[in-house]
Structure 1
Amino acid sequence: MRSILSTSASALGNSATSGRPLATGLVVTALVATLAALLLPVQLFGETASAAGNTVTYDDDGGGTVHTRHGPLTAMDRDFVRKVRLAGLWELPAGRQAQARGRTAAVRTAGDHLVAGHTELDRRSVEAGRTLGIALANQPTPEQQGWLGQLNSAADAEYPRLFAELLRRSHGKVFGLIAMVRDRTRNAMVRALADRANAVVLDHITVLEKTGQVDFDALHSS
């Protein structure tokens, strides 16, 4: 910065011979350009770091992109369809359980929404898997089975909090993948599934939060 100011002073000192208005304009332009060059990398790196912190990933099955009558089908597309199916395999029974065990109307309502939403999404994901040739799971993952086990063994007093916590966290994680798929996919069938999943998952997030059992501090620190 000292060299920049020295250059500016020198240019201003010579302005009597070259025309003060012109010299002053050149100096101001040079200063602005220099400061912009100094600040721009900082801003760009800041944006890059922020974007990197919010990166959404998917599981690559190594199958590459295949062509279907509904458009190209990528590894991201296949992973999304599989995850929609997996979500229904544990969130549907969790919703049915909430309908039966919910001690408040809000928890039972959340259960109703989970059952309705995942019944529809499960049907759509199975249809997409069959049409697009995507192998789908028929039972929850060990982790999902563990969550169902926690709900099954929870005491009545503990159940509403655990239900809201597990289901809200799960829906929050998949929400980013849905947005990425909707933005990037070129497959019409996958896009339609993402459209519907976006609406259903947002609805589920909303009704789970309305139970009053979601600990937002714990949710975003995990």
Structure 2
Amino acid sequence: MPRPRPAAAAAAPALAAALLLGACQPAGRQAADGAAVAPKANDAAAAQSTVTTDWGPLGPADRDVIVRVRQAALWEIPVARQAQRRAARPATRRSLAEVARAHARLDELDRAAAARLNVPLPDGPTPDQQSWMSEITGKSGNDYDRTAVARMRMAQGLLYADLGAVRAGTRNTLVRRFAQEAQPLLDRQMRQLETTGFVTGDVLPDPPEVAEPPPPAAPGRRGTPAPAATKVLSGGG
């Protein structure tokens, strides 16, 4: 996938958000064909509610990440399995085979958590996801490899960050355990995609914004290793 020109780069954040969030409606609000159903007012209120479970309170972010993991599996597993046959490069075929296996395990964990927490899951790709699958299928040669890897790596980077945020803040012990098990599987998939050589800066999500970033070093100045924290805290003794 060619590096975007300035106009395309400006649209990258919107593309990144659409890639993972595009058609994810509140849990259970999806038609059988995968099309999103517009939520009613009472559905929207219920989606923002927190419910009590045997593992602690289950909030909207908890349910949302469980649904997102499922939604990712519904398009990434078929794409990865197709790439095992159609990718132009052996390295891509090997990497995507591993992605398919890891994602199947991730889906297994996700379905188990959803069943215990009574979170309804979608059964088909969203319209946006279907369009990405069609886009990838319509490519050939290195363009096929590049498009499949770019789409999947963008989505997984966003989902990885969301899982980390939920892992850090959830009050539900089962969701915490699920996120803790899911993150290494996503990390493995991202590393596999990165071995293909098609992961470049334009296919990565935007880095997080920092309110007070540390300034860079002065030009030409070489930094020296900082002393161990234990030495600083003990006064250098």
TM-score when normalising by structure 2: 0.65
1:98 counterpart = 2:83: yes
Tell me the alpha carbon deviations over residues 62-103 of structure 1, each in whole angstroms, 9 at most, x when there is no partner: 331111112111111000100010010011101101111122
Residue identity in the other structure for 1:152: T
Counterpart of 2:185?
A: 200
Give the 5 Å matches for 1:106-121.
Answer: 106-121=91-106
In structure 2, the CA distance between the partners of 1:185 and 1:218, relative to structure 1 (3 Å rule), is closer
Contact 1:62/1:75 (8 A) holds in 2: no
Contact 1:106/1:207 (8 A) holds in 2: no
* Alpha-carbon offset, residue 174 of structure 1: 1.1
1:75 counterpart = 2:60: yes
* Alpha-carbon offset, residue 220 of structure 1: 5.2
* Alpha-carbon offset, residue 215 of structure 1: 2.3
Partner Cα separation in structure 2 for residue 220 and residue 174 of structure 1? 10
Secondary structure at 1:157 match in 2: helix
Aligned counterpart for 1:172 among listed residues 157, 180, 195: 157
Secondary structure at 2:141 match in 1: coil
Counterpart of 2:45?
A: 62
Between Structure 1 and Structure 2, whose CA radius of gyration is higher? 1
Counterpart of 2:121?
A: 136
Aligned counterpart for 2:200 among listed residues 215, 219, 222: 215
Highest RCO, 1 vs 2 (Cα 8 Å, sep ≥ 6): 2
Tell me the alpha carbon deviations over residues 85-142 of structure 1, each in whole angstroms, 9 at most, x when there is no partner: 0010011101101111122232112212221111111112112222111111000111
Counterpart of 1:146?
A: 131
Partner Cα separation in structure 2 for residue 206 and residue 216 of structure 1? 15
In structure 2, the CA distance between the partners of 1:83 and 1:105, relative to structure 1 (3 Å rule), is same
Unpaired stretches in structure 2, ≥5 consecutive residues: 1-20, 27-43, 208-237
Bigger helix fraction: 1
Secondary structure at 1:83 match in 2: helix
> What is the percent sequence identity of the aligned residues?
33
* Alpha-carbon offset, residue 221 of structure 1: 6.7
Secondary structure at 1:158 match in 2: helix
Q: Alignment length, in residue pairs?
A: 166
